[in-house]
């Protein structure tokens, strides 16, 4: 089972813009990113998955993916 790493949204909102930019690595400005994180919290999400995840739990964390052959 493969899991994507995730961050607590509370933790992310407590970072400085500079630190946040390193974690999120998206081209959006950090004010916009903070607003979007707040919207996720309003929807009940606690976590933000890092990477391209297509299987998330209702709380926003990764629900896991079946292992592929290259994984042990």
Minimum CB distance to Zn ion, residue 17 (Å): 26
Total residues at interface with Zn ion (CB under 5 A): 3
Region 32-71 residues binding Zn ion, contact defined as CB under 5 A? 53, 62
Neighbour count for residue 18 (Cβ, 10 Å): 8
Q: Are 47 and 4 in contact (CB under 8 A)?
A: no
String of contacts with Zn ion for each residue 3-32, x by CB under 5 A: -x----------------------------
Classify residue 51 as left (phi > 0), alpha (psi -120 to 50) or beta. left
Question: Which positions lie near Zn ion, rule CB under 5 A?
Answer: 4, 53, 62
């Amino acid at each position: 089972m493969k899991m994507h790493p995730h961050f607590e949204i509370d933790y992310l909102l407590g970072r400085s813009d500079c630190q946040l930019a390193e974690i999120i690595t998206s081209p959006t400005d950090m004010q916009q990113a903070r607003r979007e994180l707040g919207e996720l919290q309003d929807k009940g999400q606690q976590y933000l998955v890092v990477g391209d995840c297509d299987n998330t739990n209702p709380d926003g964390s990764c629900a896991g993916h079946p292992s592929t052959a290259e994984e042990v």
